[in-house]
C-alpha cells in the first residue's frame, strides 16, 4: 500500500492548514486550503497571504487601545493600586470615546468628554483620566497633541495640619479605647508613616535593641479589591528609621502575638479616624498627620533631603508644600511681634496725646 502523503485526504487531495490566531476563548484557529496537488495548495496559500497583507488593517477603537495599554501595564508589573485606578477610569470615564476608531479621534471629541466629566468629578480626576488616555493613544496616534485641550482649573485644597494640642487629644482618647488606632496615629504623627506602610509593618521589622524600624512594603488594594503586600513605588520608599524612645516604649508595651503591628486595613484606619475627629471636632485627614510630622522636622531645621529620606519621598514637592504652610503659620506670629514692636515705638505718640 502506498504511503499516505502529509496533508493528503481520503479523496487524494492535499490540504494545508495555516494558523491565523486565537479566538476570544483562546482556542487556536486555522484556515484550510485544499487542491489536487501540494503545489496547487501552496499556491493558494501564497495568493491568500498576498491578498491578506494588501488588505487595509483595521484600526483599534479608543476603548481597545486603553484595554491594551492596561494589559501592558499589568504584564510589566505595575502596582496593584495603579491598575485599580486605571480600571476604575476605564469603567467610568470614556463613554463618549470608547467606540471611536482611534485614527478618527479628534481633540474636539476629547474636549467634549472632558466637559461632560467636569460636572461630575474633580479636576484632578480628569487629569488622571486624560493621562491614561494619552498613554493609550501615543503608539497609534503620536501626532495627536493634547496641549491644546482646556482642562478645568485645579481647586486649591487647604492643607490642615493638626496642632500639638489636637494630636495630644487624639492620642489620649485612643490610648485606652483603641490600641490599633493609637499606634497608627503615633506612627503617622511621630514617624511620618503612610497608612499602607503602617498596616504592612510587622514586629519583625522592628529592631528593639537598636531602636530602628525597617520600612520596605505596603498593604494596598489590588484590581480585584483584595489587600496585598507590595514593594514601595520608588526606591525612596525603602528606608530604615530611628524610633524615638517614647514610641519605642509604647511599641514594647503593646506588642502582641499577631505578626502585624497594626492588624487592620488602611480603609479601616480612615473610617475610624474620621469618626473620631468628627466627635472631637478636629479638622483634617489621617494623611495630614504625615504633614504634621514634616512640619515638625521643618520647625527644628531639618534639611529637605533628610525630610524626604525620612518620609520616603523621591522629590521635594510635598516638603515645599508643607514648608509654605509652616511659613504662613510663622507669619502670624511674626506679624503679631511686629505689631507689638510698632506699639512700643508709638508709645511716645500716645503719651504726647495724653499730655496735650
What secondary structure, in 3-state letters, does 288-354 show?
HHHHHHHHHHHHCCCCHHHHHHHHCCCCCHHHHHHHHHHHHHHHHHHHHHHHHHHHHHCHHHHHHHH
Candidate from 18-22, 40-44, 170-174 with smallest mean pLDDT: 18-22
| Three-state DSSP state, 130 | helix
Could you tell me the end-to-end alpha-carbon distance of the chain, in angstroms, rounded to an integer?
140
* pLDDT at residue 337, rounded to an integer: 61
Higher pLDDT pick, 120 / 336: 120
- 40 and 179 in a single domain? The answer is no
* pLDDT at residue 1, rounded to an integer: 42
For every residue of 51-111, DSSP letters joined together read HHHHSPPPPPBHHHHHHHHHHHHHHTT--HHHHHHHHHHHHHS-TTTTTSBTTT--HHHHH
Chain mean pLDDT for the chain: 83
pTM of the predicted structure, to 2 decimals: 0.63
**Model confidence over 286-330: pLDDT tens digits?**
999 988 888 888 777 778 787 778 888 766 666 666 555 554 555
The mean per-residue pLDDT over the stretch 259-273 comes to 95
- 73 and 198 in a single domain? The answer is no
Measured in residues, the chain has a length of 356
- 181 and 86 in a single domain? The answer is no
Q: Which residue has the cell 479605647?
A: 177
**Model confidence over 187-242: pLDDT tens digits?**
999 999 999 999 999 999 999 999 999 999 988 887 777 888 887 766 666 888 88
User: If pLDDT is split at 50, 70 and 90, which confidence band does 42 have?
Assistant: confident
Candidate from 5-19, 155-169, 178-192, 251-265 with smallest mean pLDDT: 5-19
Owning domain of residue 98: 62-137
pLDDT at 134 > cutoff 90: yes
Q: Which of 13-17, 89-93, 343-347 has the highest mean pLDDT?
A: 89-93
Q: How many domains does the chain have?
A: 3
- 48 and 90 in a single domain? The answer is no
* pLDDT at residue 331, rounded to an integer: 52
In a domain, 157, yes or no: no
In a domain, 182, yes or no: yes
Amino acid at each position: 500500500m502506498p504511503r499516505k502523503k502529509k496533508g493528503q485526504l481520503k479523496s487524494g487531495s492535499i490540504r494545508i492548514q495555516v494558523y491565523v490566531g486565537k479566538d476570544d476563548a483562546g482556542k487556536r484557529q486555522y484556515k484550510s486550503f485544499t487542491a489536487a496537488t501540494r503545489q496547487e495548495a501552496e499556491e493558494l496559500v501564497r495568493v491568500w497571504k498576498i491578498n491578506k497583507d494588501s488588505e487595509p488593517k483595521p484600526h483599534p477603537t479608543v476603548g481597545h487601545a486603553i484595554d491594551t495599554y492596561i494589559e501592558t501595564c499589568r504584564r510589566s508589573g505595575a502596582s496593584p493600586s495603579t491598575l485599580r485606578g486605571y480600571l476604575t477610569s476605564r469603567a467610568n470615564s470614556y463613554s463618549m470615546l470608547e467606540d471611536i476608531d482611534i485614527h478618527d479621534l479628534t481633540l474636539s471629541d476629547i474636549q467634549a468628554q472632558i466637559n461632560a466629566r467636569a460636572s461630575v468629578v474633580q479636576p484632578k480626576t480628569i487629569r488622571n483620566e486624560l493621562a491614561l488616555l494619552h498613554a493609550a493613544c501615543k503608539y497609534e496616534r503620536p501626532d495627536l497633541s493634547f496641549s491644546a485641550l482646556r482642562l478645568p482649573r485645579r481647586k486649591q485644597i487647604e492643607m490642615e495640619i493638626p496642632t500639638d494640642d489636637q494630636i495630644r487629644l487624639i492620642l489620649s482618647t485612643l490610648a485606652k479605647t483603641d490600641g490599633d488606632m493609637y499606634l497608627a496615629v503615633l506612627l503617622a504623627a511621630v514617624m511620618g508613616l503612610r497608612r499602607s506602610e503602617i498596616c504592612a509593618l510587622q514586629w519583625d521589622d522592628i529592631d528593639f535593641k537598636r531602636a530602628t524600624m525597617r520600612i520596605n512594603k505596603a498593604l494596598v488594594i489590588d484590581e480585584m479589591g483584595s489587600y496585598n503586600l507590595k514593594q514601595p513605588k520608588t526606591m525612596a520608599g525603602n528606608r530604615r528609621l530611628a524610633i524615638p524612645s517614647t514610641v519605642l516604649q509604647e511599641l514594647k508595651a503593646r506588642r502582641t502575638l499577631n505578626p502585624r503591628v497594626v492588624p487592620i486595613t488602611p480603609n479601616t484606619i480612615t473610617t475610624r479616624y474620621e469618626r473620631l475627629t468628627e466627635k472631637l471636632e478636629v479638622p483634617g485627614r489621617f494623611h495630614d498627620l504625615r504633614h504634621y510630622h514634616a512640619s515638625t522636622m521643618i520647625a527644628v531645621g531639618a534639611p529637605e533631603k533628610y525630610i524626604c529620606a525620612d518620609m520616603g519621598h523621591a522629590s521635594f514637592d510635598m516638603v515645599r508644600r508643607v514648608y509654605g504652610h509652616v511659613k504662613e503659620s510663622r507669619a502670624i506670629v511674626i506679624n503679631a511681634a511686629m505689631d507689638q514692636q510698632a506699639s512700643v515705638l508709638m508709645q511716645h505718640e500716645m503719651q504726647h496725646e495724653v499730655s496735650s
